[in-house]
Structure 1
Amino acid sequence: MMDDRIPEPFHAGELRAQQLAGGGPPGAPIRSRMPEQHRQFFPLLRFLCVGVADASDWPLATLVHGAPGFVASPDPGRLRIDALPDADDPALALVTDGAAIGMLGIDLATRRRNRVNGVIARAGDGGLLVDVNESFGNCPKYIHVRQLGPVTRQAQPVETFGSELPADAAALIARCDTMFVATSSGASLHGAGLDISHRGGEAGFLRLDGNVLTVPDYWGNRYFNTLGNLLLQPRASLVMVDFGSGDILQLQGLAEVHWQVGDQARDVRAEREWTFRIARGWLRRGAFPLGENLSPSLI
């Protein structure tokens, strides 16, 4: 049986990042179609992390949500999402036919996560259909265990801002232990170059100094999808959630990878770090309709 593995799955930026980091992975099961276990995984989810981009290739990270089953796979080469970004989400206008898209399915209760990158075959009527270009899993490291369930929220008007963060946005970053980052390689080897991935740590692992956010990079699968994209295209986007209030913070900015961590680094686990200079953002209060049933823990 063919496993649909892509023989040479890494683009030039990822290969360069692996070289700068001292080596890539021993193997890379990145497929052009979803294996059965991934097709069975996505329908279990209540939310999905999504990365899209505008006409100038600025990525924008967001979250879409629905009851379990709102994401499904009609066949190994497609995902159907019966949801769109919220009406006040700046990402909504970017979800269009033919647009590149990166998606991360993550179950915080079980620490499972799988990624799909592809192209939107059809958008509208409350959802979208995605043609899969790349499908691969990630390890469970640095994921905070959370049991999430539906809660009633009262969404507030969106606060849009530039490089100067509102106090509530800075406070959310200080509390954050779970973040998602969308990046783009531009035109990649296998078509769409968008990707969205997870970053996690104890509250405070993200260091904010003015409008510059420093993100530690821990030991991982050594694919370097995110950092490889940033070597080719420094524009990136972050999204993070306050699981207590339901506030969603979306940021766009310019990233720079620092391959050597100096003695001043506060996080001893960091092998390297990258900085993110905030250009603009959106604070959507009460926009996330899921809340915690148990206290989080980092495993």
Structure 2
Amino acid sequence: MTTDYHPGERGVQRRAGALARADHAQRAIRDRIPEVAAGFLAGRTTLVVGARDAAGRVWASQLTGPAGFVTAPDERTVAVRAAPDPDDPLAEVLTAAGETPVGAVAVEPATRRRMRVNGWVRPAEGELRLRVAQVYANCPRHITRRVVTHLAPAARRRPPVRVTPALTPAQQALVAAADTCFVASGDLDGSMDASHRGGPPGFLRVTAPDLISWPDYRGNAMYMTLGNLARDPRAGLLVVDWADGTLLHLTGRARVDWSPARAAALDGAERMVDFQIERVLARPAASALRWATPDPADAH
């Protein structure tokens, strides 16, 4: 894992006709944490992480805590004072001895800022330590403006986790109404990435109980996610119910559809991504964060 683009990213940039824009954007990728980035992390109450489980499945998950639970003790390290719950799909690998490749994304919906940090994580003295390989900010496009209303106290007893091979009708409704999701993907070398995807409610299209599609909009031309999928289709999605803290984890395989005609059917789409679901893990009230309903005028 370096600050250079890997062959999958370069191939997608070339196919999209975005090599010049990608070269310009690459200047923002660092292998250490700038002071402004450290300050941004210190104010966050959530961090989304992506990794592979012991079976090689890719998942996206969420860690939460009060502001200050994520810090940068030095320019090469991110410390996260939180641990995944036992029913988290990444609990085993995030707390295992040794280092695990991870991607992480921190988002501040109130100001529509986001930052991605990729590297390797290991447990250490009651926290997770992420050794940094890549740090970079992303543009604010398609981030719905929200504010955290509160951190809910940990529930003494939560409803049981539900595992299914496809989305239930209620889960389909949650996905179809979402304006935000998080995507985890990885390269063949084992490196990982976590990214944010957003759009108007309905941008995640449930075309079957085991198939979701979404538009890929114009961005910064790095194509980190699509570049990973070009080489390794395994991916994970996280959809959050901001009102009650339910986390919906999906793992499966994704494919990019470059058909101009299909993309033209959705305003602003440059291509489409199809995600074939292989497993669904629903964790009711698993997140302590509660977010305000956005004002439609502040969305995207």
- Same-fold status (TM-score > 0.5): yes
Show the counterpart of 1:18: 13
Rounded to whole Å, the distance in 2 between the matches of 1:72 and 1:82 is 9
Identity within the alignment, %: 36
Q: Greater shift after overlay, 110-119 or 286-295?
A: 286-295
Q: Note if contact 2:184-2:236 (Cα within 8 Å) is conserved in structure 1.
A: yes
Q: Note if contact 1:20-1:259 (Cα within 8 Å) is conserved in structure 2.
A: no
What is the TM-score when the length of structure 2 is the normalising length?
0.91
> Aligned-pair distance for 1:85?
1.4
> Compared with structure 1, are the counterparts of its residues 294 and 240 closer, same or farther at alpha carbon in structure 2 (3 Å cutoff)?
closer
Structure 2 letter corresponding to 1:16: G
Q: Note if contact 2:263-2:270 (Cα within 8 Å) is conserved in structure 1.
A: no
Show the counterpart of 2:141: 141
Instruction: Please report the RMSD computed on the Cα atoms of aligned residues, expressed in angstroms.
Output: 1.7
Show the counterpart of 2:160: 157
Show the counterpart of 1:128: 128
> What runs of 5+ residues in structure 2 fail to find an aligned partner?
none
Q: Greater shift after overlay, 266-275 or 149-158?
A: 149-158
- Superposition pairs of residues 1-299 of structure 1, within 5 angstroms: 9-24=4-19, 25-27=22-24, 28=26, 29-95=28-94, 96=96, 97-120=98-121, 122-123=122-123, 125-148=125-148, 149-152=150-153, 154=155, 155-162=158-165, 164-187=166-189, 193-210=191-208, 211-263=210-262, 266-293=265-292, 295-296=294-295, 297-299=298-300
Rounded to whole Å, the distance in 2 between the matches of 1:32 and 1:101 is 15
Q: Note if contact 1:21-1:259 (Cα within 8 Å) is conserved in structure 2.
A: no
CA deviation map 1:273-292 (0-9, x unaligned):
11000000111111121112
> Aligned-pair distance for 1:252?
0.3
> Aligned-pair distance for 1:294?
5.2
Rounded to whole Å, the distance in 1 between the matches of 2:214 and 2:54 is 27
CA deviation map 1:202-235 (0-9, x unaligned):
1100111111111100000000000000000000
> Aligned-pair distance for 1:126?
3.6
Rounded to whole Å, the distance in 2 between the matches of 1:112 and 1:209 is 31
What SS class does the counterpart of residue 174 from structure 2 fall into?
helix
Aligned positions, number: 287
> Compared with structure 1, are the counterparts of its residues 140 and 276 closer, same or farther at alpha carbon in structure 2 (3 Å cutoff)?
same
Q: Note if contact 2:242-2:292 (Cα within 8 Å) is conserved in structure 1.
A: no
Rounded to whole Å, the distance in 1 between the matches of 2:42 and 2:140 is 19
> What runs of 5+ residues in structure 1 fail to find an aligned partner?
1-5
Structure 2 letter corresponding to 1:291: R
Q: Note if contact 2:144-2:294 (Cα within 8 Å) is conserved in structure 1.
A: no
Structure (1 or 2) with the greater helix fraction: 2
CA deviation map 1:69-117 (0-9, x unaligned):
1000010000000012122212101213211011101111111111110
Q: Note if contact 2:215-2:263 (Cα within 8 Å) is conserved in structure 1.
A: no
